[in-house]
Structure 1
């Protein structure tokens, strides 16, 4: 445990580091030998095996350069036009550099970015001394992605002056005092600036390879060794660790949440808000100070092999810099990431004298523990296995219908989408795949019986992609159930993961992995979800921005195509009841208070999103804020209580970033969003109940 003298040294280290930010340039980063080899290996694999077959030549080199600049400075707030001119002089040389395993060019570009970042943050901090005049008529461009690059340092400083002025005004309008604003923004810019000194060679390489792979096609990605490990964890929904959700706050790794049943929670010695200031391995390993250390590096120290010991030096949430610490000893264990697992609930729908129970299964991702399946683990986790269990439970509870909620489910395992479809349609084809040579194969399942044969609806939104779209499209093509919500993402491509170390016959993990597009999938009706997505049978309003979310937002997305339908037999036809369902939905939308508010808020958010320029005049901004507050207060008055819906929370503005709010306030806000009324799900349940009333919802036949 640290002594008070040790604490003082740690505190002085943080202070002196902050002062050093004023003058020191960030470290100059250089490529490592294995990174050049990994880039070369990636080029060989992508050139010969990618579905799109894009050669690495001068044309692709120019596209990579554009994307790399965009990734570094998407809002055109750091680079000068002269920087861009210098970069573009080498735009046709990246292909030769990759084949020569020489990454000097992209690393040089990053070093310029890092230096510019430090300069801009230092300038922003300096502006806080004098404050601003908010009586001037002045505007700030909040979206600069289409604006010209600043030509001079003076132009850049003017952009940042307005940006800092806007940050100040947001806090001022929320009722924050000038002294507190200086403190908040000073700390914000200081923390941002500090991150510029923590970048490592791996960060640069990962960013550059993302630019390269995304220039080929939007869903092709490179994973370094660490990123590949995280991808594997997300697929199998488990890891070995202590069971704590961590967040970086003011140079401290802070516990945000404890996973139920994990070592941290079971110890009874840790709480949300506690700060981890040291990590040690085993019962007697040296304590490593982690104050100011990047979050991902602290996570690496805490994770480890099952049944091994990790010791943590904890500064309690209510302790000051010289407060008493706690030394915690934990034994690492398997942690199940239950938040991403399928879960069920039951909704009650009343219509006159009729009451129906509708089961809802929320599926955040199509997960599959590949390793557990391979080694024959009888209890391995997968989306379809978990949903099958939940369906059995809902059937025992005698529900009248089932909603599969796939909102914001970005996909995952393709086989899981096929198996999940089989739970509702039984045996039959689910999708068609076409590879780069044009060969087409039909994928389906051999399941003889469906697990659920009753009324079914699938709820989707713009965030529903890939495997989610496969499932929703198959349910729609079979006429098996209703698809409700927003048009989906539009990702109709199939990826596989290529281990570059295996390709190079390298015995240890050094080169990372490629997630590479190898095929395009098509619906069994011959169409594809690519670009256009799945169009719901009943469309509901949503907050998604189609300009920035969805396949159509990519400039190099594969086109929409159509092939011959597969041989399949529809299980029913819901088209005859759609006009009546739409009519009933429209009637509710006119009368239901929550639905009307949702439509109002969707339109309000669209108007706000379309604004690229906002006023920096306090009177004008306060009038706009008062209008928003008045709108929310009118709702509260109409409700007769102090309550907030999900959409109300969207418009609340305090000018703070997530890590600047108190931990308790941040958690409370998150809980409020979670507990708020889910208007779209409620309406989906009503629509499925209406369909049951009409008696036309088809059931799967046991084949």
Structure 2
């Protein structure tokens, strides 16, 4: 049952954010309607009880926690401190002195009062921004814009807020000017952006306000617990009945931007190679020649509705790459919407040979984009239903028949999936034994184990992971590492070690009543068989690639209120072998230091780190252009140098006419950089073992 719930959560999350069903255009809500309803009061009381009883992290609803909830609510509404002023916040805090007691009784007056003031402040700021657009703006002055003011103090008065908005409008204007827009185009686009911001806030109804506040409450506990209002739940139900069509991207709202959280294996976004986690979507257009709509400041649901559409249709996106920061140069890409099928996510294999450190040796690479299992076909009695484990077993047999010397499992970018598949896949490489421990909210620990005797592959094994390898990927990699069955190579993984389930709140209130919505609840945590959790820390590779040195706060580590790393007693298992990595690490470091591909990847990691750490940017046009040119040149020079070393002529992805075959070859060469080094590491280990070196590390 737990396996099915875990698989369901992946589908729920991907579906919600990638393909919300068509939503009726919302109407403006009057201020007189923005007061809590009896149904919302009832829902709040039920949510309190469910969280207190079933949430994995025990909730104590006291004054200290209530202050955290209020601060989170203000941050959700005004993350960059662009609307409220200090006296607003002081009044909210005064009115919320007994918020813990109010929340316990389901009283929501504070939440709605804050939102009504927020809506008025948005109207004031939008009016001021539109006024600024009618004035001449100078970009010769040496001043800066703090595009991340989340840690700043609240503005003391309207005059201070005016100055922040003056700089914001200048930054918005300059960003579009640097994207080769005329000043008239910029003014028209920004006018629509600011007016759209006010219009969307006016469309918030009571359910929207309630959902926003309750999610501030749940996210003050931990980041993966969330509430869906009745209207959101209805859209979810509709979307679950549809085919998974769209671009195949998991999106989230961040401040006023729509950010790509991950891409779905087999989807157009992943297949294009042009969209990556952390990229911002700032514009959406329909078809090959539809007008580009600026979506900065839009609600996530509205952006999703613009992006999704029928299979075979074209959507154009304006993207700000993560490496360029929030104020860098955008680029436009075109995608053909498509249905994402199970076979598009299936594991695949290929050979890496002709390695300079292992003449004549071959490493079989198995790419696993997700941990999938066709539950529908299985439930219908189809004996040949598709699953990760079944597909990988066939690939292993084929690779063995081709005489490979070792197998490399590539889990880069694999965000997880079925827990059952993580367990059974591990069983292909061990005989029988525990794979992962699951501890629930009541402290009960269950062990998920491989019970099928026999091993599909006994030869040298390695697993390649990166910062986007999460959940089920971490369970598999951790088990292989704990058993000493193979090497883990790459970057520390995402650190998602919690389990969620979807709860219908109506089941807790008997009789006829309004729909109360649903709660996505964190109810358990994964632990390695060695006792430590995969939560927060993820899986630390045995051999790190240099790109890991430039990882800042990433994955679970970057989320507010994430559950801490902890440990429980280890399970009863037998380690396959003791492994040492010093010599392999030394050899790899020597190669990597000279490798042009890794120099390029390291430079990209540096650029991403610099973009994440940057808090403000120049508003002087010549300085800004110089900064952007330097950033783009840094990465492009490294990339071109690497490609030419491989005999590949670099392709400009932003050119009007692009040779798609040449572009695919370029992307494949870049994707193989880490794979080929991982294969060389394996060859070193195999050679040491065959030479009976006492430092041998690869199990045969």
TM-score band, normalised by shorter chain: 0.7 to 0.9
Q: Does residue 688 of the first structure (1) align with residue 682 of the second (2)?
A: yes
Task: State the 1:145 CA deviation.
Answer: 1.1
Please show how residues 486-635 of structure 1 align to structure 2 within 5 Å.
Answer: 486-504=491-509, 510-542=515-547, 548-554=553-559, 556-575=561-580, 578-632=581-635, 634-635=637-638
1:37-78 Cα shifts (integer Å, max 9, x gaps):
332222111112222221333332222112121222222222
Shift of the 449–194 alpha-carbon distance from structure 1 to 2, 3 Å rule, reads farther
Answer whether contact 1:426 1:447 (CA < 8 A) is retained.
yes
Answer whether contact 1:342 1:361 (CA < 8 A) is retained.
no
Distance between the aligned counterparts of 2:364 and 2:521, measured in 1?
A: 37
Task: State the 1:534 CA deviation.
Answer: 1.4
The TM-score with structure 1 as length reference comes to 0.73
Structure 1 unaligned segments of length 5 or more: list them: 1-16, 249-256, 262-270, 277-292, 304-309, 318-333, 653-660
Shift of the 260–465 alpha-carbon distance from structure 1 to 2, 3 Å rule, reads closer
Answer whether contact 1:118 1:196 (CA < 8 A) is retained.
no
Answer whether contact 1:346 1:357 (CA < 8 A) is retained.
no
1:62-102 Cα shifts (integer Å, max 9, x gaps):
22112121222222222222222222223344443444344
Answer whether contact 1:526 1:562 (CA < 8 A) is retained.
yes
The TM-score with structure 2 as length reference comes to 0.73
Which residue of 1 is the match for residue 175 of structure 2?
170
Distance between the aligned counterparts of 2:315 and 2:473, measured in 1?
A: 42
Which residue of 2 is the match for residue 240 of structure 1?
242
Q: Residue 524 of structure 2 aligns to a residue in which SS? A: strand
Distance between the aligned counterparts of 2:506 and 2:234, measured in 1?
A: 14
Please show how residues 161-560 of structure 1 align to structure 2 within 5 Å.
Answer: 161-224=166-229, 239-241=241-243, 243-245=245-247, 272-273=287-288, 294=302, 336-338=340-342, 341-352=345-356, 354-368=359-373, 373=378, 376=381, 378=383, 382-392=387-397, 394-395=399-400, 399-504=404-509, 510-542=515-547, 548-554=553-559, 556-560=561-565
Answer whether contact 2:536 2:562 (CA < 8 A) is retained.
yes
Shift of the 544–42 alpha-carbon distance from structure 1 to 2, 3 Å rule, reads farther
Which residue of 2 is the match for residue 322 of structure 1?
none
Which residue of 1 is the match for residue 65 of structure 2?
60
Worse overlay, 347-356 or 58-67? 347-356
Distance between the aligned counterparts of 1:225 and 1:361, measured in 2?
A: 43
Shift of the 52–25 alpha-carbon distance from structure 1 to 2, 3 Å rule, reads closer
1:309-342 Cα shifts (integer Å, max 9, x gaps):
x9x9x9999xxxxxxxxxxxxxxxx955449723
Answer whether contact 1:344 1:359 (CA < 8 A) is retained.
no
Answer whether contact 1:528 1:560 (CA < 8 A) is retained.
yes
Answer whether contact 1:59 1:92 (CA < 8 A) is retained.
no
Shift of the 43–632 alpha-carbon distance from structure 1 to 2, 3 Å rule, reads closer
Which residue of 2 is the match for residue 329 of structure 1?
none
Distance between the aligned counterparts of 1:350 and 1:480, measured in 2?
A: 26
Distance between the aligned counterparts of 1:677 and 1:232, measured in 2?
A: 40
| Number of corresponding residues | 603
Task: State the 1:524 CA deviation.
Answer: 1.3
Task: State the 1:460 CA deviation.
Answer: 2.2
Distance between the aligned counterparts of 1:229 and 1:390, measured in 2?
A: 41
Task: State the 1:545 CA deviation.
Answer: 7.7
Shift of the 115–404 alpha-carbon distance from structure 1 to 2, 3 Å rule, reads farther
Distance between the aligned counterparts of 2:159 and 2:505, measured in 1?
A: 46
Shift of the 339–686 alpha-carbon distance from structure 1 to 2, 3 Å rule, reads farther
Distance between the aligned counterparts of 2:573 and 2:463, measured in 1?
A: 21
Q: Residue 585 of structure 1 aligns to a residue in which SS? A: helix
Q: Does residue 145 of the first structure (1) align with residue 145 of the second (2)?
A: no
Distance between the aligned counterparts of 1:670 and 1:125, measured in 2?
A: 42
Task: State the 1:365 CA deviation.
Answer: 4.0
Answer whether contact 1:491 1:531 (CA < 8 A) is retained.
yes
RMSD (Å) for aligned C-alpha atoms: 4.5
Q: Residue 677 of structure 1 aligns to a residue in which SS? A: helix
Distance between the aligned counterparts of 1:345 and 1:26, measured in 2?
A: 59
Which residue of 2 is the match for residue 284 of structure 1?
none
Answer whether contact 2:230 2:518 (CA < 8 A) is retained.
yes
